[in-house]
Amino acid sequence: MPWTDILNHDAPLERFKRTLQSNRLASTYLFVGPDGIGKRAFALMLAQALLCENVSEPLMPCETCSACQQVIAQTHPDLILISKPADKAFIPLEAFIGDAEHRRQRGLCHDIGLKPYRGGRKIAIIDDADFLNIEGANSLLKTLEEPPPKSLLILLGSSEQKQLSTIVSRSQIVRFEPLTEQHVATVLQGLELETTTSIEELAAASGGSVARAIELSDEEVFQFRSTLRTALASLDPGRDNFGKDILGFVESVGKDTSMRRARLRMVGDFAIHFFEAVMHTAISDGLAKHSTDTEVHNALGRLPEDPQAKAEAVAVAIERTVLMQGQVGYNASPINIILPWLKDLAACLRGQQINVGV
């Protein structure tokens, strides 16, 4: 029962079982949900189940045939895996259409159209779809619009809002929920992390993501998250030069640009989780699981009193933060991304209009 290793995603699994039983597998899926919750593991297991040569019931790979072994080793000739290199801001164009000397003779768009070697179908998984730029997405359009027979393309992204509309409109969306705190704690117990923060605290702060919990096991990160929440709860996060503190946190990771960008996106994630907790508590009238969270309550006490205005203010703050994250990677210096963001947050959280258009 290999699926039992994949926690908390019964709903998408049931969906794919029904889809296969009725023979309605689409050619392109976009999996969305926070990083570090098992979307990639799910996609690989789905690929294994579809490529297994000894499958006994739908979506139950045998684990032992050579096709299963090749998928597990990520060497199956009909499985194409693409992700963003750590030192790049986006997935390079050559991953889709080959390098300058092999344009359209290599890369995903070419390979997925080849006859399957052994699996009866070609499956491509694009990890980090958040980092598709317009060039990359455009190169994929023809494949999305005229998918080769028996091909399956799965894109993995952290949220629907971060994907280009040209991709979203051509994909079947499958939503993955964050893990429960209990699931995150269970995974962390097996990892032997070196940290003074307790597993319970890490799981509670993780937003349901194992990857985020591991990042938070760095005490500097954990401490920064607390400071950021206090600043956000004040509804004026830019005061006292907090923008410079954020910059300090971003730069403390070292000189590497891609690591700094990842840090700035992390700042955005922390802010989004905070605003989501505020929203959740506001909607559930304080009875929600965040009701013991002091900073969430501080924010609620300061936001506009009218429930609709309150919800609107927080929704715009989330939208503005997603926009901030989208600006990371386009060569703007971090401080020129951070300061306007903080200024807009202070305005929108007080119920003022801001422009969140592109």
Instruction: Catalog residues that contact Zn ion under the rule CB under 5 A.
Output: 52, 54, 61-62, 65, 68
Q: Residue 49 or 97: which CB sits closer to Zn ion?
A: 49
**CB 127 → Zn ion: shortest distance, Å?**
23
Could you tell me how far CA 189 lies from the centroid of its own chain? 23
Q: Residue 68 or 216: which CB sits closer to Zn ion?
A: 68
Strand pairing class (28-32; 172-175): parallel
Q: Residue 72 or 93: which CB sits closer to Zn ion?
A: 72
Please list the helix, strand and coil fractions of the chain in percent, rounded to the nearest 5, in that order. 55, 5, 40
Could you tell me how far CA 65 lies from the centroid of its own chain? 32
> Taking a C-beta distance cutoff of 8 angstroms, is the pair 99, 87 a contact?
no
Q: Residue 16 or 131: which CB sits closer to Zn ion?
A: 16
Q: Is the dihedral of CA 296, 298, 302, 306 positive or negative?
A: positive
Q: Residue 61 or 340: which CB sits closer to Zn ion?
A: 61
What is the C-alpha separation between 273 and 80, in angstroms, rounded?
33
Cα distance from N-terminal residue to C-terminal residue, the chain: 46
- Residue 79 has phi, psi (to 5 degrees) of -115, 120
**CB 303 → Zn ion: shortest distance, Å?**
54
**CB 280 → Zn ion: shortest distance, Å?**
42
Exposed / middle / buried, residue 83 (Cβ in 10 Å: 0-12, 13-18, 19+): middle
Could you tell me how far CA 117 lies from the centroid of its own chain? 32
What is the C-alpha separation between 348 and 350, in angstroms, rounded?
5
**CB 71 → Zn ion: shortest distance, Å?**
8
**CB 80 → Zn ion: shortest distance, Å?**
19
**CB 56 → Zn ion: shortest distance, Å?**
9
| Sequence-ordered strand ranges (E) for 75-224 | 79-82, 122-126, 151-157, 172-175
**CB 49 → Zn ion: shortest distance, Å?**
8
Q: Residue 125 or 337: which CB sits closer to Zn ion?
A: 125
**CB 3 → Zn ion: shortest distance, Å?**
14
Distances (CA, A) of 199 to 59, 180, 227, 228, 271: 34, 13, 20, 21, 22
Q: Residue 36 or 61: which CB sits closer to Zn ion?
A: 61
Q: Residue 58 or 301: which CB sits closer to Zn ion?
A: 58
